[in-house]
Structure 1
């Protein structure tokens, strides 16, 4: 196993590790952002089970801000075509999103972003500075990486950032629940960046804001884009301990 495929580990002392923590860490450790899927559909019963588990997500005042639009079969193909048409149109990459994009990436955030990008480019054989090839790889977002299903997560407009935070928790739980069933996922901000096309395709009402998309299905383990894993910083790098 190459270094790039090493798993992230949840570290606690062996003598006080609850079994649930061990199982949870294993599930999270298996999950990755899948960028190459097999065409095989996920059984509807399995999708329903994933949704039932994700529905247990905690939310502010139990508002349960999320509402999903899920595609299967021909609808996935048509949705992908609509996204590709929008993304390749003049100015298609500069459309407004329902939520503000990050103002910029600096410091450690930029370092992590670049590291992930170069891992992906190395895996799929894109040379440094090859903008044409990197542009083609970006468009794979709108092909849904070949996934048989897509989910678009929306929040109520009036719930603002609180609704978006709740939806973020839902997305994480959806992906973790999917992993329990051997279903691979990738959360995609790129889908939200084509919010007008998404809104038109699903006839999403104006009082809903598009948070992100999730492409899901069974990952192609032979696809080169699935041949790396991102790194996680240590606890001391992300937590400040205060005891007095």
Structure 2
């Protein structure tokens, strides 16, 4: 029964060690970053399976769970890496899902800042388009990762299926981080959707949303030495109280 008093704040959930659930999540969010230099060491099958089990809990519209995932390991990763690199260096983009029409305002500023951080970390001078182009092609080498996950969605669900897959990608990366595995989500791989679909025998009823290269990070790689900033809540949220 509501007696008119204000609701009490919910007590934070804690684990067996006394750590709050939101604290654990905050740590994982802070630790996750886009890894651009991996060690060749493979991730154990049991660890990959656990990542997939955790990511499978992702919420989706009407519980449709539209994601389907192709995971490579070993020689299969190397075959894909070599094949898509050759293809991407001699063919234009062919994405299932249109790329952004333009970046503007704060989005453009953040994109530039991220790019400058990356280029500075690997010694690329601003304006050196040849060097920055070579760095961009490292996407198709999977940054040396021993595994890649190709994320696809049901074509009939359109943009909303892709939105659900975006949530899956986020949870996949957090689950991986919780198990000591580094990741990078790559729209670049989706820029060659037709090739990816052909390489893996994926049906035309699936949209290639993105890839996730993953493995163990090379902490000595200079591209792993920077972190991007996040905007303050006030920049993203409008409160409506009355």
Q: Deviations over 1:192-220 (max 9, x none)?
A: 00112111110110100000000000000
- In the alignment, is residue 39 of structure 1 matched against residue 36 of structure 2? no
Q: Give how far 1:17 is off.
A: 5.7
Q: Give how far 1:82 is off.
A: 1.2
TM-score by structure 2 length? Answer: 0.92
Equivalent position of 1:133 in the other structure:
131
Corresponding residue SS for 2:174: helix
Distance (Å, rounded) in 2 between the aligned partners of 1:48 and 1:170: 15
Equivalent position of 1:23 in the other structure:
24
Equivalent position of 1:154 in the other structure:
152
Q: Give how far 1:95 is off.
A: 2.2
1:208 maps to which of 199, 203, 206: 206
Q: Give how far 1:106 is off.
A: 0.4
Equivalent position of 2:221 in the other structure:
223
- In the alignment, is residue 49 of structure 1 matched against residue 50 of structure 2? yes
Q: What RMSD, in angstroms, separates the aligned Cα atoms of the two structures? A: 1.2
Corresponding residue SS for 2:95: coil
Distance (Å, rounded) in 2 between the aligned partners of 1:36 and 1:236: 34
Distance (Å, rounded) in 2 between the aligned partners of 1:164 and 1:217: 24
Equivalent position of 1:70 in the other structure:
71
Aligned residues of 1:65 and 1:155 also touching (Cα < 8 A)? yes
Aligned residues of 1:82 and 1:197 also touching (Cα < 8 A)? no
TM-score by structure 1 length? Answer: 0.91
Q: Give how far 1:27 is off.
A: 0.7
1:116 maps to which of 114, 117, 121: 114
> How many residues matched?
227
Larger radius of gyration: 2
Q: Give how far 1:86 is off.
A: 1.1
Corresponding residue SS for 2:184: strand
Distance (Å, rounded) in 2 between the aligned partners of 1:51 and 1:128: 39
Corresponding residue SS for 1:196: helix
Aligned residues of 1:27 and 1:180 also touching (Cα < 8 A)? yes
Corresponding residue SS for 2:101: coil
Equivalent position of 1:177 in the other structure:
175
